[in-house]
A and B are shown apart, each in its own frame.
Chain A
Amino acid sequence: MTAEGVETIIAARGLTKSFRVKGGETVHAVRGVDVTVCRGEAFGFLGPNGAGKSTTMRMVACTSPRTGGELTILGRDPDTDGVAIRDRLGVVPQQDNLDEDLTVRENLYIYARYFGYPRAYCRAKAAELVEFAQLTDKAEARVSQLSGGMQRRLTIARALVNDPDVLLLDEPTTGLDPQARHVLWDRLFRLKQSGVTLVLTTHYMDEAEQLCDRLVVMDGGLIAAEGSPAELIAQYSTREVVELRFTPGEQAAAEDAAAALAARVEVLPDRLLLYTDDGDETLAAVTAAGIAPLSALVRRSTLEDVFLRLTGRSLVD
């Protein structure tokens, strides 16, 4: 508990979750996940829809009992100590579930009351978090009068009423415009700086790269890879990528010629991705080989490329 960066906040070993759906069929949403999250870390679950990210998060949030495996959060077992663990968690669900009957300020106040704090403390906390969410002008407005980005900020602020040790964010910026996303990332980064452990799911690679110290790539209820964004890129991709865009269908004709020029080639419906350590050199070779794409782009590898390599599919369909 004293050594820096090694205090374990969340530990999962062989964690599984199965649902029985009507008709007797069993859906295995999480098939055996091992993760360890340490205090102060920003940890991400990256994966496409249906990978088991949200289900894992709900088990960590103690709102969904696990089917099998071991799970310890803040040193406790969610099966027996759910209420005590939730007392120390902040939860931002995928869908905002703010209290539509109440104002912005009342939402924060009553949520703090749910945690059992005295009234005066809750009023002070609500005032503080209205500021944090940058909703001072809207403090007395109903939730339904807020924009999507504002509602999201309020949901995040609401998750902070109990000064949580861990903040769980399920797709925090899905459905927001780029500007609103950047405002949120700024808020989350501040929280991280103040020492809050962040655990988030996302299917946006840029979000994972911006916020996460470490992440796991999930696919089909399993962990496909684990590491820091830089480590994952180094391990599963090359330094640079040459993207060649073609009229859909014509990229196949250039595939064989391109394969000789790069360490690896991915074929997408309208593009060829050439994985290489020197993009400019490869692009020159492409031109020399007589391949004529509609457009060409040299860029650095991202987590999207890691995901493509690991699963053969894109992150966002």
Chain B
Amino acid sequence: MSRDADMTMFAAAGAAGKAAPTGQGIPERESARTSSYSVVSRPGGGLVGRIIPVRMYAGRSRVMLERSLLTTRTIKWTLISGFFEPLFYLLAMGAGMGSLIGTVEGPTGPVAYAAFIAPGLLATSAMNGAVFDSTTNVFFKLRYAKTYDAMLATSLGPVDVALGEIGWALGRGATYAVTFEIVMLAMGLVHSPWAILAVPAAVLIALGFAAIGMAVCTFLKTLQHLDWVTMSLLPMFLLSTTFFPLSVYPRAAQIVVEAMPLYHGIEMVRALTLGAVDWSMAGHVAYFLAMAVVGVWVTSRRLEKLLLT
């Protein structure tokens, strides 16, 4: 009896779904077999749900974050190490080499070398956290553990998976950035109240890198390819005005550096912590928003192609 009733509900919901194909995710379902819970809640897709077809998106990417949180026990040391890396750079380069260098010419005039490189390291820590998660971790789950195959056998869609994983990578990058900024504050390297906006800026940097990182990851086939990602990040970290200003380069090299995403992240954060905010910020923000949109779109399409064939 209960099963028949359930089927009737399903059929009715199906008819309603056809009448309104814009898709509020899955119809709410009275579950006769879940006696203590009369209605099973199904959050709708909101704005995104109206744009993306129902077969791609169930509006439930936050359960992906819940899974990631459950796994933190296993990976806690990896998580902690990501915080120390930029801190060691700050101590070695900022305090150590900084004592030899003295001041450098920043956007607001001469600043202590440590105060010049700290925002660069903050942007880099947001990038590293996001990229590590969205490449190495996602690669393993995609190619070896088949975690996403299991997820896509449920009523989750590839967009839920993409948004959930990008969201987690973003959260990780942002957490590193926030802790790093607290260290900067304690070391007296924050020169402007604008610096409070370095946190949302770091979130934006993490979002852009997480989205592009995961999109790139869907094209990687072997562990060797992962090394290429690491190899391309290192020169970007060293050369994107992290340790010296853009003015040291000849114009041709400047153009190359200006095309790099990390350059925009570093300049954005540096302007905030040193208090040199102007309209160029809009350009940096736009760069990362574009990365995020392209990354999410490519990732969703690729996941569908790889997993739903």
Contact = CB atoms under 8 A, between A and B. Distances in A.
B40 A63 contact: no
A121 B35 CA distance: 10
Nearest to A106: B70
Contact of B146 (A81, A97, A163): A97
27 contacts: A7-B7, A63-B149, A64-B308, A64-B309, A75-B14, A80-B55, A81-B14, A81-B54, A83-B26, A83-B56, A83-B155, A84-B27, A86-B154, A93-B149, A95-B146, A97-B145, A97-B150, A99-B67, A102-B70, A113-B63, A114-B60, A116-B40, A116-B41, A116-B60, A121-B40, A162-B154, A162-B155
A61 interface: yes
A118 B40 contact: yes
B152 interface: yes
A83 B56 CA distance: 8
B39 to A, nearest CB: 9
A95 B149 CA distance: 11
Interface in B139-153: 145-147, 149-153
A138 interface: no
A95 B153 CA distance: 13
B42 A99 contact: no
A84 B155 contact: yes
Contacts of B146: 95, 97
A309 interface: no
Interface of chain A, helix or strand or loop or mixed? loop
A74 B70 CA distance: 34
B21 to A, nearest CB: 8
Contacts of B26: 83-84, 87, 116
B59 to A, nearest CB: 9
A129 to B, nearest CB: 13
B11 A75 contact: yes
A117 B154 CA distance: 12
Given A82-B157, A83-B157, A114-B151, 13 more contacts: A1-B4, A63-B308, A75-B11, A80-B54, A83-B54, A83-B58, A84-B17, A93-B149, A97-B147, A102-B71, A114-B63, A116-B43, A165-B10
Interface string B124-152: 00000000000000000000011101111
Nearest to B63: A113
Interface string A85-106: 0111101010101111110001
Nearest to B23: A83
B58 A116 contact: yes
A68 to B, nearest CB: 15
Q: Would you list the 5 A-B pairs with minimal beta carbon distance, nearest first?
A: A87-B155, A97-B146, A114-B154, A91-B153, A101-B71
A2 B4 CA distance: 8
A7 B8 CA distance: 12
A307 interface: no
B28 to A, nearest CB: 10
A163 B60 contact: no
B42 A116 contact: yes
A195 interface: yes
Interface string B283-309: 000000000000000000000000111
